[in-house]
Structure 1
Amino acid sequence: MPDRRVMLLALGLVAASSLFLLWNLRGPVAYILDLRAEKLAVLVLVGASAGASTVVFQTVAMNRLLTPGIVGFDALFVFLQTMLVMGMGSAQMLALPPVPKFVVEAALMTGLAVALFGLILRKGAGDVIRMILTGVIIGTLLRALAGFAQRLLDPSEFAVLQQASVASFNALDDRLIGIAAVLLGLAFVLCLRLAGRLDVAALGRDKARTLGLRYDRFVLLALCVVSVMVAVSTALVGPVVFLGLLAASLAQATLRDHRHAVLIPAAALIGALILVVGQTAFERLFGLQSSLAIVVEFAGGLVFLALVLRRPT
């Protein structure tokens, strides 16, 4: 039977989604509902994948301060957009077919992340920290290269690049939403199937191996699932680095439960709630005068600082 707290979060998401869809609904109802439903699907997909992937990543990394974005997905995404604008020009980049562009970007980010994980962890999952540090260094290098290339762009092309590099939940192709829903849905189901083994992995490498878990192989599998979720969501809307940390931290603080069968869906629901409630507020109350991604990053950054500075109990 599903946990009661998870059910309450699910009901909260249903209520927030209904408010998002039906608030001040006027004019051509069918057309407006269709547009809002597409945006709602993106918000739920991105928020849920961020929350679930962060819980899994923190478990295999044995650190509650980390988020998958620290490995450099956001830097790689911005670098790819910069190279496209620099090599093709902003007009041709904007004219690229959205589906092939999305698939190539998601596949490239996933492939590079899996290659990094496999290369560093080939001698065992005890090198997870070294893998994370390598990802941080690669991300710093990509940001530096992207920054250098951006200085060579015309102001008009730089403006297009800035818009393409910032997370946006508006005007997405419904075909992209369908592909992302399938990939993220399969990854989320796999996360739930791994929940029991994640409970064992959270005990540490030595204890997990004593209990019969093939720890090294399992960690690599979990990181591959995380890579798919982060790469697909980043290719879909752009980088939102601290959303997962915010959702995972709220799930752990409110539920105080170590079971991943509860933590993973709770973090996914909280991540989706944050985006749906935030987008509803910005669109209905503030008239899109603020950027949801910027506010989420700011709040996530504050949570990160609070976790770092908090004294151990």
Structure 2
Amino acid sequence: MPVTAGAPAADGARRALTPAVRLVLLATAVVVAGAAFLTVGALDAFELLAPLRLARLAPMVIVGAAVAVSTVLFQTVTENRILTPSIMGFDALYALIQTAAVFVLGSTAVIATAPVARFGVEVAAMLVLSMLLFRWLFGGPRRSLYLMVLVGIVFGTLFRSLATFLQRVIDPNEYLIVQDRLFASFSAVDPGLLAVCAVVVVAVFAWVWSARRDLDVVALGQPTATALGVDHRTLVLKVLAACALLVSVSTALVGPITFFGLLVANLAYLVMGTHRHTYLLPGAALLGVITLVGGQSILEHVFGMDTVLSVIVEFVGGIVFIMLLIRGGKR
């Protein structure tokens, strides 16, 4: 009898937490996490520490939102919850670029290179490769999305193998420089790059938001989307280009975060309780920011750990990936 009496109350509570209400709660959590990151342990010297913490907060917000949204978009067009844009080899190409630059030019020349120039080369390389792959395997007569993903995995393996080979033959001291660049870091990001990345991410988000209803249709599958009047191939190519741009900019800005998108995207499906992109996309972006900002705040101010958050995120994301493989990632 108590279970029967409590069931309507529980159902009412779930109905009260509509996706819109959940978005408001997530936005509130973002504000709280940001305020905690800026103020905890810094009130005595806030004027001095606030600019330093803001310089670390901004890239976490940009990267957290960009990676989360790009993963949701990629999973929508591939109809698979265990795939992320990183599977296309972006992280491996980034590692190869960093290793090859140190191998050819030397660590001194790489460090002396202007951050804007280095950022431009890395983004251009990742964008050109991804767009060639998209046009070749999905824009042509083959039009095979899964063949494109498989070829991306092969290229990623190739890039990773080449990077590993170069890392074995370079000077050990320069290898340490390469290793330092292969872990995502949100400190010492050039302010000029932050402005460029923010403009690019906002512009991509604006287009994605305008296509959110078409994305709901694409998520139903190609036959259904085509029957409902959506140009499936064209929209998928645009979505893949948006994913490539978001991931390229994020990776070039702070470094690779392989499993972060997978973790946040699947958390967004769970928290939002809907597959409508009107709520899912902003929910994923907010959860990405909460994960990075809140996680870094807890690490630094609660546990007193001076470590890189990306290492912990990758560990947890890897566990989630294995769990999804066991359960089956196909929706």
Secondary structure (helix, strand or coil) at the match of 1:134 reads helix
SS at match of 1:169: coil
Name 1:118's counterpart in structure 2: 135
Corresponding residue for 2:149?
132
Name which of structure 1's ranges 28-37 and 5-14 shifts more when overlaid on structure 2: 28-37
- Residue 93 of structure 1 aligns with which residue? 110
Q: Could you tell me which of 208, 225, 239 is aligned with 2:225?
A: 208
**Alignment pair present for 1:165 and 2:164:** no
Q: Could you say which structure has the larger radius of gyration?
A: 2
C-alpha separation between the residues in 2 aligned to 1:78 and 1:180? 20
Q: Distance in 2 between matches of 1:14 and 1:189?
A: 22
TM superposition score normalised by structure 1: 0.96
Cα deviation, residue 255, structure 1: 1.7
Q: 1:37: which partner in 2?
A: 54
What is the aligned-residue identity percentage? Answer: 42
- Structure 2 Cα separation of the partners of residues 124 and 208 of structure 1: 19
Deviation at residue 147 of structure 1 after TM alignment: 0.5
Task: Work out whether residues 39 and 46 of structure 2, in 8 Å CA contact, stay in contact via their aligned partners in 1.
Answer: no
Supply the distance in 2 between the matched residues of 1:125 and 1:246 (Cα, whole angstroms).
31
CA contact 2:19–2:274 (8 Å) conserved in 1: no
TM-score, length-scaled by structure 2: 0.91
Query: What does 1:127-276 correspond to in 2, within 5 Å?
Result: 127-276=144-293
How far has the Cα of 1:122 moved from its partner?
2.1
The residue that corresponds to 1:277 in the other structure is 294
**Quick one: which amino acid aligns to residue 106 of structure 2?**
G
Q: Deviations over 1:86-138 (max 9, x none)?
A: 01101111111001111221122112111111111123685111000000000
Displacement of 1:277? 1.0
Kept in 1, the 8 Å contact 2:62–2:201? The answer is yes
Contact 2:184 2:256 in 1 (8 A): yes
234-243 or 22-31, which deviates more: 22-31
In the alignment, structure 2 segments of 5+ residues that lack a partner are 1-17
Residue of structure 2 equivalent to 1:297: 314
Alignment counterpart, residue 99 of structure 2, candidates 69, 79, 82? 82
Q: Does structure 2 retain, via aligned residues, the 8 Å contact 1:38–1:177?
A: no
Q: Tell me the SS of whatever aligns to 2:229.
A: coil
Deviates more, 1:280-289 or 1:92-101: 280-289
Matched residue count: 313
Q: Deviations over 1:43-77 (max 9, x none)?
A: 11111111111110001011111111011000000
Q: Aligned pair 1:12/2:29, yes or no?
A: yes
State the alpha-carbon separation in 2 of the partners of residues 26 and 18 from structure 1: 11
Confirm whether residue 306 of structure 1 aligns to residue 323 of structure 2.
yes
Q: Find the aligned partners of 2:150 and 2:131 in 1 and give their Cα distance.
A: 15
Give the ranges of 4+ consecutive aligned residues of structure 1 lying more than 4 Å apart after TM superposition.
Answer: none
Structure 1: segments with no counterpart, 5+ residues:
none
Give the 3-state SS of the residue equivalent to 1:122 in structure 2: coil
Report the Cα offset of residue 213 of structure 1: 0.5
1:143 Cα deviation after fit? 0.5
Letter matched to residue 238 of structure 2: L
Q: 2:71 aligns with which of 51, 54, 66?
A: 54
* Corresponding letter in the other structure for 1:45: I
* CA drift at 1:207: 1.0
Contact 2:217 2:230 in 1 (8 A): yes
Instruction: Compute the displacement of 1:291 (Å).
Output: 2.1
